[in-house]
Structure 1
């Protein structure tokens, strides 16, 4: 089996006789063939997300992918490559802060029913692998785009019954956020948890409309009026 690995400006091909997952294969290469090969891994059971790479142009978790002869393995896109298949996740994670993707402190206990607990159960399963971030084509033209990685987590907290300032969280995703998504769907099939960021972004758009926000890119069509921060 021949496996090609993108390493900086060159692509190195390894010819090995091995049967297992891609992560096991990379470990075998590092242990027995090339100790300089660098990649990331953690739980080895599709939980931590640290082994995410691109295989033949599509994002995948190395610990669950079954390699085939001729596969090309590359690091995730849209993130700084530290070495070989290891990327710096600081920038993707920083977008979570810009999108206020966290639960706000609340005073007193808030009782949640079963339906409220289930409302964002799927979004809560995000393992921070960055696959959707890597698959997003918007970064090629708008590097400050908050992206599916942060926006799907934004919806997780906007839809949380314990969030008191829903409006504040929606305001945080108006600029460089939900309206810059092209709804291309590239982020959906690569999520190992079955989360659909495109759908979550649509929900954020709908909720934003209910709160009086609108696409800031359309402001010029209304005489430059700012509908992004209405007062009631």
Structure 2
């Protein structure tokens, strides 16, 4: 088995005996048997903690669940600081949760949830903060202030909660570098190991924003009709 791993801005080839194993198992084998300087992150080994997220052949995966193949090219996540080899610093991405105020602001304890209420944002609660969506996001790649996929998914989780009596406060925080900046390319959904569609959540947040009188700011400079003619 031959694979290439990106280290210090260049790919290093490794060849070893391995068959039908996960990427994480392969990385451990390389570290133990070939090169003990190789650095990578891992935790639960059960696709729950998200710490082993990285890219294979330019696509985000969890190393503990991805089955390695001949010629795979492995590299760290994009759009984050690389600490060493496949280890990255996710602090800046995690900070978006605080900037987006992803929590209940006016919790109404008297409101009770039934099973249908729980289903509304059940999937959003499965986010493991692996950062794959930020790595795949073309907007975050060019705008580091963009709140990004998992922060906006968490916003939807809380503003759709019936116990939140003042959702507008949170909706206001996502109007700049938030819901209107997303291109709806769906790349975040395609790489999410939990099958969460941040694109769908952002679309729902746009609808929610409209209910409170917010709109895409780019419409403000639009002065023509759909055929380009001026409107009076």
State TM-score, norm by structure 2: 0.92
How far 1:8 moved relative to its partner? 1.7
Mapped to 2, the partners of 1:205 and 1:105 lie a distance apart of: 21
Mapped to 1, the partners of 2:204 and 2:159 lie a distance apart of: 10
For the residue of structure 2 that corresponds to 1:187, the secondary structure is: helix
User: Which ranges of structure 2 fall in alignment gaps of 5 or more residues?
Assistant: 224-232
Number of the residue aligned with 1:191: 192
Number of the residue aligned with 1:97: 98
**Structure 1 position 116 matched with structure 2 position 117:** yes
Number of the residue aligned with 1:209: 210
**Structure 1 position 18 matched with structure 2 position 18:** yes
How far 1:105 moved relative to its partner? 5.6
CA displacement, residues 160-205 of structure 1 (integer Å, 9 cap, x when unaligned): 1121221011101000000000011111110000100000000000
Mapped to 1, the partners of 2:85 and 2:168 lie a distance apart of: 42
Number of the residue aligned with 2:163: 162
Number of the residue aligned with 1:56: 57
Mapped to 2, the partners of 1:190 and 1:113 lie a distance apart of: 31
Number of the residue aligned with 2:181: 180
How far 1:110 moved relative to its partner? 2.8
Number of the residue aligned with 1:76: 77
Change (3 A) 1:193 1:61: same
User: Which ranges of structure 1 fall in alignment gaps of 5 or more residues?
Assistant: 223-232
Number of the residue aligned with 1:65: 66
Number of the residue aligned with 2:227: none
Mapped to 2, the partners of 1:107 and 1:176 lie a distance apart of: 29
Change (3 A) 1:145 1:44: same
Mapped to 1, the partners of 2:168 and 2:191 lie a distance apart of: 30
Question: Which runs of at least 4 in structure 1 moved beyond 3 Å after TM superposition?
Answer: none
Mapped to 1, the partners of 2:211 and 2:199 lie a distance apart of: 19
For the residue of structure 2 that corresponds to 1:209, the secondary structure is: helix
Mapped to 2, the partners of 1:212 and 1:37 lie a distance apart of: 52
Mapped to 1, the partners of 2:207 and 2:108 lie a distance apart of: 28
Mapped to 2, the partners of 1:29 and 1:157 lie a distance apart of: 43
How far 1:218 moved relative to its partner? 2.4
CA displacement, residues 117-172 of structure 1 (integer Å, 9 cap, x when unaligned): 11100000000000011000112322211111211111111111121221011101
Please, which moves more after superposition, 61-70 or 212-221? 212-221
